[in-house]
Amino acid sequence: MSAGPTGEVVGHANMRSRATNLAIDVILMAFSLAMLLPLVLLVANAFKTPQEMLVWPPTIIPSDPTLSNFTAVLGETPLLRWIWNSLAFAVLSTLAIVSTSAVAGYVFGKFRYRSLNALFVVILATAIIPFEVYMIPLYFQVKSLGLLNSLWGLLLGYLVMSFGIFLIRQNVIHAIPDELLEAARVDGAGEFWIFARIVLPLLRGPLAALGVLAFFQAWTAFAWPLVVATSRDTYTIEVGLALFQTGFTVDLGRLSAASAIVLIPSVTLFVFLRRQFTQGIATSGLKD
């Protein structure tokens, strides 16, 4: 029996849908490859000789791989010290931001007071203010406390993230029912117990996503560490990488080798937490 006009229309619609999906996949794959190309060239340059770096068009696979760039970077610069400074700074900043965002996000999401709503609007508005606007007043505050050229001075600029508070608040509103919290209060649970035993376990995904964002923010920070750190031993890795570039030349081989080493912690963190990262960001876009 013939399927009739309706069946033909459905068949053509399915074919168009599959063709559209295929075209979208091809476009997204092309954009993904274009975004990965600079990363691939960076890693390739780390293994190239100075002569091969000047070849045009550039080669993706080095014809004569060498480890001289890595040995020079590790032997002639305090790269490991800079990495340790950045790692300590990023980890402590991440813990502080996750902690403050979790507490503030829970309070703003589940407590109903007009003053809290007004305060939340003010905090959210600070997200559009560039860090450079209040960097100088913050610098004088750090100087008055005697924290220049120290890890604690670096941390003062990266303890709170307004977007993190927004992210956790959105997840608290949509992922944690009010009835669950009320039932715990009826059973005699205190607010601290509710927050620690109910709220935090339900926010593992969003907190992991926020942790990735906070780690990247501190790991790639440049302006604030450049102002606070005044000696080579207290430089972070971003400030240290800038030393490979002078006013007239760039040591591309060593810069590529150092950058390739620096990529390892951030890429590893994202690979392990990529699922929680995408889920946490997607949930934050839900409407109230």
Domain extent listing, the chain = 4-53, 68-284
Low-confidence stretches of the chain (pLDDT beneath 70): 1-13, 246-249, 273-288
Selection from 210, 200, 261, 203 nearest residue 72 by Cα: 261
Query: Which pLDDT score is estimated for 58?
Result: 75
- CA 132, CA 266: separation in Å to the nearest integer? 24
Calculate the dihedral angle through the C-alpha atoms of 147, 153, 157, 158, rounding to the nearest 10 degrees: -150
Pick the closest to residue 97 from 237, 241, 221 (CA basis): 221
Q: Which CATH superfamily includes the segment(s) 68-284?
A: MetI-like (1.10.3720.10)
Q: Over the stretch 220-229, which tens digit does the pLDDT of each residue have?
A: 888 899 889 8
- What's the pTM value of the predicted model, to 2 decimals? 0.78
Answer yes or no: are the C-beta atoms of 235 and 224 closer than 8 Å: no
Distance CA 100, CA 213 (A): 14
Which residue type does 242 have?
A
Angle value at C-alpha 62, between 56 and 68, nearest 5 degrees: 110
pLDDT tens digits, one per residue of 80-122: 898 899 999 999 999 999 999 999 999 988 888 778 888 888 8
Cα–Cα nearest to 221, from 243, 242, 238: 238
Return the pLDDT at 93: 94
